[in-house]
Amino acid sequence: MFDFLDSGQYDLLGAFWVTAQLALYSAIGSLIWGTALVAMRVSPVPLMRGFGTAYVNLVRNTPLTVVIVACSFGLNQTLQVTLGGDDFEQIGFRLAVLGLTAYTGTFVCEALRSGINTVPAGQAEAARALGMSFTQVLTLVILPQAFRAAITPLANVLIALTKNTTVAAAIGATEAALLMKEMIENEAQALFTVFGIFAFGFIVLTLPTGLFMGWAAKRLAVKR
Amino acid sequence: MSGVAVSKDHEDSPRAQEDLVVLSGVNKHFGALHVLQDIDLTIGRGEVVVVIGPSGSGKSTLCRTINRLETIDAGSISIDGKPLPAEGRELARLRSDVGMVFQSFNLFAHKTVLENVMLGQIKVRGTEKKAAEAKARTLLERVGVAAQAEKYPAQLSGGQQQRVAIARALAMGPKVMLFDEPTSALDPEMINEVLEVMQQLAREGMTMVVVTHEMGFARSAADRVVFMADGRIVEQASPEEFFSNPRSDRAKDFLSKILHH
Ligand SMILES: Nc1ncnc2c1ncn2[C@@H]1O[C@H](COP(=O)(O)OP(=O)(O)OP(=O)(O)O)[C@@H](O)[C@H]1O
Ligand SMILES: [Mg+2]
């Protein structure tokens, strides 16, 4: 039943490695971009707030496939953006990271915003009264507490991100879903085995994230 | 002998009367509500001014305009001769010279007590960590919570938290301290420990603006009592004079309510 796995025809580990990398780079990217977005959304500058709000509402409500395909067609094929990638595979990977970051950043932003709402406004006021700048108030007082309060929603965002990497197959990133499609075509007799393998692979990637974040949420909770 | 006394007087009097905080013609609205109406108030260096008045009279707002946590619509405010700057780096610098203590303590919940008192010194003043810690420990000692230095705010009683908040403000070496009902959120048995710290500060010559309902504190520590009602300063006098002989009906009415409780 698992014979086709021994043939060496399918690089399962390699495909999941690409998935893991996609997830990791996009996670880092979207945490940074989401933090920047939430900073804009709470900033005292109306233009920044407007941009942050518009961006989040636009991108969050666009299907991920559209965002990813837009990166591929719009950026790469129309504007010739390669993000420094050399071949088709590399370009696809980088564009996928960009698209996933642009999309997931909005969810990180909203998770953080819910975290910010748990920080009593008086603390920001006290920080301002000490003479801190807006950036200092945000980075020293608000965000450290917001991150801790947002760990659980952030875990959900990261797990969703890991699964969303499968959409990158649409633009040719050689990740797990692309391989699965290929295997389903070639190994129709072992359909459920193939499904099982890929489901298991994703659980291996996401379960530790969930467990770790759950542990971290308890560990880092701010006592009030 | 008398010549010496006169010349000493001359040296002292300008200092004693030196204006530290000057509000003139200050007006502020919250929408249609005229919360501050033509406020003229001058606070001398080393002076302790207690602000009292009924709820909603604008005491907190007045306090908060002094470090521009609230903006004003008209008039001017200056601190140590410098007008309050608009938003930006200049304002941040000025705020660091004005300590503020809130009713709800507002300690940074994710930082230990010690870190709370060090943060402003390091990030705003650029003090070195070692020096900031030494100063923080001295101040915590002074307000009587040195033993709690490594704890988090949530692990402290309200009275202890408020004393930490005072230490945090003092750590910036402020020219003036603003207190907005610092004991109103406290259980009765903790009020005195906070008032004692404030008394001590007053004795040491700190310039203080204190919004409070603690008439005992006003009597014993204040140089002047300012009575507000409906956004105006209705009268101001020394505590002895104000409490024994209030001139306005508003003040008489207010005093009869709070003193006969
Ligand atoms: N941010 C705000 N927006 C709108 N109205 C406000 C705001 N802050 C205060 N007010 C109103 O302004 C008036 C004065 O408020 P302020 O807090 O200065 O009064 P106070 O004298 O400190 O009263 P209290 O003794 O209850 O603390 C009140 O009527 C209050 O409802
Ligand atoms: Mg008030």
pLDDT of residue B257: 86
CA atoms within 13 A on the CB side of A175: 26
DSSP string, A89-112: HHHHHHHHHHHHHHHHHHHHHHHH
Using alpha carbons only, give the angle B74, B86, A115 rounded to the nearest 5 degrees: 110
CA distance A94 to A83: 7
Q: Which residue has the tokens 């530290």?
A: B20
pLDDT band at B15 (very low <50, low <70, confident <90, very high): very low
CA distance B234 to B250: 8
Which A residues 117-176 touch B at CB under 8 Å? 119-120, 122-123, 125-133, 136, 140-141, 144-145, 148
CA distance B76 to B65: 10
- Torsion, Cα A12 A13 A14 A17, to 10 degrees, reads 130
CA distance B67 to B96: 9
Query: What is the crossing angle of helices A88-116 and A12-41, to 10°?
Result: 40
Give yes or no for residue B61 CB within 6 A of ligand 1.
yes
Give yes or no for residue B57 CB within 6 A of ligand 1.
yes
Tell me what ipTM this predicted complex has.
0.88
Diameter of chain B measured on Cα atoms: 61
Pocket test for ligand 1, best of B27, B28, B29, B33 (most atoms within 8 A of CB): B33
Short-list B256, B231, B261, CA closest to B246: B256
CA distance A47 to A197: 48
CA distance A89 to B124: 49
pLDDT band at B13 (very low <50, low <70, confident <90, very high): very low
Nearest chain A residue to B165 by CA: give it. A126
B243 touches chain A (CB under 8 A): no
Q: Along the 224 residues of chain A, how does pLDDT read in single tens digits?
A: 566 767 677 888 888 888 899 999 999 999 999 999 999 999 999 999 999 999 999 999 999 999 988 888 877 777 777 777 777 778 888 889 999 999 999 999 999 999 999 999 999 999 999 999 999 999 999 999 999 999 999 999 999 999 999 888 877 777 888 888 888 888 888 888 888 988 898 898 888 888 888 888 888 888 77
Q: Do B165 and A128 touch (CB under 8 A)?
A: no
Bridge-based pairing state of the strands B176-180 and B19-30 = unpaired
Looking at residue A144, its amino acid is P
Give yes or no for residue B59 CB within 6 A of ligand 1.
yes
* Shortest Cα distance, chain B CAs vs residue A110, angstroms: 21
CA distance B106 to A215: 28
Short-list A41, A138, A140, CA closest to B116: A140
pLDDT of residue B4: 37
A43 touches chain B (CB under 8 A): no
Q: Which residue has the tokens 């606070």?
A: B43
Q: How many residues does chain B have?
A: 261
Nearest chain B residue to A127 by CA: give it. B120
For ligand 1, what atom is nearest to the CA of residue B63? 18
Bridge-based pairing state of the strands B48-52 and B98-101 = unpaired
* Shortest Cα distance, chain B CAs vs residue A57, angstroms: 30
Q: Which residues in A lie closer than 8 A to residue B123 (C-beta atoms)?
A: 132, 136, 140
Q: How many residues does chain A have?
A: 224
pTM (2 d.p.): 0.87
Q: Which residues are in the CB-under-5-Å shell of ion ligand 2?
A: B 60
Q: Do B67 and A223 touch (CB under 8 A)?
A: no
Helix (H) and strand (E) counts in chain B: 10, 10
Tell me what percent of the residues of chain B surpass a pLDDT of 70. 93
Q: Which residues in A lie closer than 8 A to residue B67 (C-beta atoms)?
A: 129
Q: Which residue has the tokens 């409070």?
A: B212
Pocket test for ligand 1, best of B36, B37, B60, B232 (most atoms within 8 A of CB): B60
* Shortest Cα distance, chain B CAs vs residue A25, angstroms: 29
- Ligand 2 mean position, distance from CA B215 (Å): 16
